[in-house]
Amino acid sequence: MGKERKVRLCVPTANKPGSHRQRVDGVTLQRAWPWVCFYGLGAMIPSRLFSARLRLLEGMGRWTPSTQAVLGPGWLLPQHASPRLLSVSCADGAKHQEPRRKKLLSEKQLKRHFVDHRRVLVRGGRGGDGVSCFHSEPRKEFGGPDGGDGGNGGHVILRVDQQVKSLASVLSRYQGFDGEDGGRKNCFGRNGALLYIRVPLGTLVKEGHEVVADLSHPGDEYVAALGGAGGKGNRFFLANDNRAPVTCTPGQPGQERVLFLELKTVAHAGMVGFPNAGKSSLLRAISNAKPTVASYPFTTLNPHVGIVHYEDHQQIAVADIPGLVRGAHRNRGLGCAFLRHVERCRFLLFVVDLSVPEPWTQVEDLKYELEKYEEGLSARPHAIVANKVDLPEARARLPRLQARLGQKAIALSAATGENLEELLLRLKDLHEEHVANELARGRQPLRW
């Protein structure tokens, strides 16, 4: 078994010497004074500092100590116990455990807590104070002032991040980093670090009722609050008529503002329709987005954006706007909250349910609501999509729908995938027209 080694305890376990035996749960324990010895461990542990619990190993039939319960002071284990079963280490409880990393949320979980408006109080960092001191050096009587200036406070900046999908991660209050105070020997304080707030693409920044920023392009930034200026040390006030200034100024507080953030979904195409028209099913059919689909109206309460991929590595973003109702421009059925996301869409897809009688009235009502909400919104380039053509009664209404509208409607079925190719080709044509118009105006088209 190898050579055994004993290490004596530093604390006695009884007032009087002596020893006796006691049988506990079929195991004979021996009490000794003043030292407690563990054979085969190669170490000695103070009895008052040692806590153990007898634990029966399955299939072994022997007892071993554990570091979770108390073993009476001065009690010994039988010497015939196996040294391999008796393992006590002080490092067992001090093992380094890595902190658990925060699990990334899926798209469905992010949309569950979708927030499209937020009130935020932002305050820039405070500037560091200036210092008033004089240079001290042997054999240099008049060293002069050498107090340094304080550092400037850090700004609070809003930055567009395309990985952020809503304003749910934006807090209600932000405080910038303060600048450091100045030091001796003309040492300037460090400036406060910049504080970036990640916001989704399409965030509108308002102060009161005034729009101060429109973050509608990737990488856009806006300085929400300026940091305070650092204070001046007495070295700054050195002049010909004042060779020993003692004046220093404190740092200035940062700018404080109350901003209102409003999200308007940015996408190339926006699908507009009444509730239960099949918009979410259509988005699932043409992209990898997974919005909730059910057989009852108002299944979609938040906009979803899906990316349609083409062979030439072209990508078109399509937004699923929640269902509108008649009177949506008067905020009926959260109409204004839903219509807000249509403003940033470059062209529209009017999704019509062919299973209802007189489906052409849906197109007229949708255009009316869009025009009442914002003038010229209904005149944007668009295409009419007649969904649920797989139903027998729906296919019979298709010729009459095209005759009443005076233009061709794309008849398809999102459930079966019938005629989706025609929609994808029409979607690509609308996107190419949009790109050509943007380049003709000297503007960069939206790239997803």
Looking at residue 210, the DSSP 8-state letter turns out to be: E
Give the position of tokens 């729906």.
394
Return the bridge partners of 166, or none: none
Element (H, E) at 211: strand 210-215
Q: Which amino acid is at 75?
A: W
pLDDT tens, N- to C-terminus, the chain (448 residues): 444 444 444 444 444 444 444 454 444 444 444 444 444 444 444 444 444 443 433 444 444 444 344 444 444 444 444 444 444 444 444 445 556 666 665 555 555 557 778 999 999 999 999 999 988 888 777 778 999 999 999 999 999 998 888 888 899 999 999 999 998 888 999 999 999 999 998 899 999 889 999 998 888 999 999 999 999 998 899 888 888 898 999 999 999 999 999 988 888 999 999 988 889 999 999 998 888 888 777 778 778 888 899 887 889 999 898 888 888 888 787 778 788 888 888 899 999 988 888 888 999 999 999 999 988 898 899 999 999 998 888 888 888 888 888 888 899 999 899 989 999 999 999 999 999 988 998 887 777 6
Distance in angstroms (rounded) separating the CA atoms of residues 316 and 427: 8
Of 242, 268, 205, nearest to 424 (Cα)? 268
Q: Which two tokens stand for residue 3?
A: 């050579």
Q: Which amino acid is at 186?
A: N
CB 117 within 8 A of CB 167: yes
Looking at residue 15, the DSSP 8-state letter turns out to be: S
Q: Which own/partner pairs from 67-72 qualify as long-range (CB within 8 Å, at least 24 positions apart)?
A: 67/92, 67/93, 72/29, 72/31
